[in-house]
Structure 1
Amino acid sequence: MDSTQRKITKIAREALRFTSKVLKDTGLGLSEYEFIHCIRHNPGISQEGLREKFGLDKSAVARRAANLEKKGFIERKPDPNDGRGKQLFATEQANTVKNSKVLVESFFYEWLLQDVTGEEREIFLTVLDRIYWKSKNERRADFKNLIELEANCHGKFEA
């Protein structure tokens, strides 16, 4: 059983809700922030690349990209290797909203920790850092260890 009771997920969800509420004037939804984040970290990514990362259909990705371009958060440029394709790039406006989002999220997490003693905070942050890097390294390995582990559970996660 999950000893965390998915509390990490639940806290992250509350942080997203707070961030969305504070930054509502940007005109961006949570999924649009994720698109911008992906484009910022993968300059020149294609719409097909976004489709693969997010598991969406082509038309949904095209609509979202067109909407973000219209709002001034991304630019679509012709792909020099594919006459029909477009490469996506974040604009300065996207970088500005990213910085605002980071500040709001940081404020939320510091607020959560304000009642935690110095010793508790130190232990918590040490463990959190270790868990974060385990997660990040597994993602960088394309979740190969987890997929193998899940396969050994004989489809335990299937609906």
Structure 2
Amino acid sequence: MDSTKRQITKIAREVNKFTARMLKMEGVGTAEYDFIHVVRKNPGITQAAIREVLSLDKGAAARCAASLEAKGYLVRKPNPTDGRSQLLFSTEKAELLKNSKASVEALYYEWLEEALTPQDNEEFCRILNILYTRSKSESKAGFPNLTRLFLDGGCQK
């Protein structure tokens, strides 16, 4: 039984809604932000590689890249190893957008924390760090424990 009632997921969903609304004010949709994020994390990536990461079709990736290039978030450079493709790089404007998104998320979480006493907030952050560390370790290892639980029928509980 999930005693958390998936409330971490539900809070994250609300943060994402608010963040998407604020990014939209800057002229960037969530799919475009995901595209920028992949390019930022993989400078010099091709559209084909981005399509694999984001599971996009060729047309959607091309439209997104063109839109983000026109908005000044990405630049294309020739691929020296393949004359048919181009390499994508993020611009300084993309870096500022990343900082903007992080600021919006921080604002939301700070607003939530106002409902807690300083002592409750300290305890919450301590416990949250334990959960985050466990989650990150499992992810970095390739989710072996969760995969085993899933395969053993754990998702049907």
TM-score, structure 2 as length reference: 0.86
Runs of 4+ with >6 A deviation = none
Q: Secondary structure at the match of 2:83?
A: strand
2 CA distance for matches of 1:35 and 1:144? Answer: 28
Contact 1:43/1:88 (CA < 8 Å) preserved in 2? Answer: yes
Q: 1:96 to 1:111 in 2, by over 3 A?
A: same
The residue identity in structure 2 corresponding to 1:129 is N
> 1:70 offset after TM fit, Å?
1.5
Counterpart of 1:2 in structure 2 is 2
SS of match in other structure, 2:123: helix
Q: Distance in 2 between matches of 1:154 and 1:110?
A: 35
Report the counterpart of residue 52 of structure 1 in structure 2: 52
Q: Percentage identity across aligned positions?
A: 50
User: What does residue range 12-91 of structure 1 map to in structure 2 within 5 Å?
Assistant: 12-91=12-91
Change (3 A) 1:65 1:109: same
C-alpha change, 1:80 and 1:15, in structure 2 (3 Å) is same
Counterparts of 2:111 and 2:91 in 1: how far apart (Å)?
31
Structure 1 letter corresponding to 2:113: L
How many correspondences in the alignment?
157
Distance 1:130 1:49, change over 3 A: farther
Structure 1 unaligned regions, length at least 5: none
3-state SS of paired residue (1:82): coil
Distance 1:79 1:129, change over 3 A: farther
* Shift in CA distance, 125/52, structure 1 to aligned 2, threshold 3 Å: same
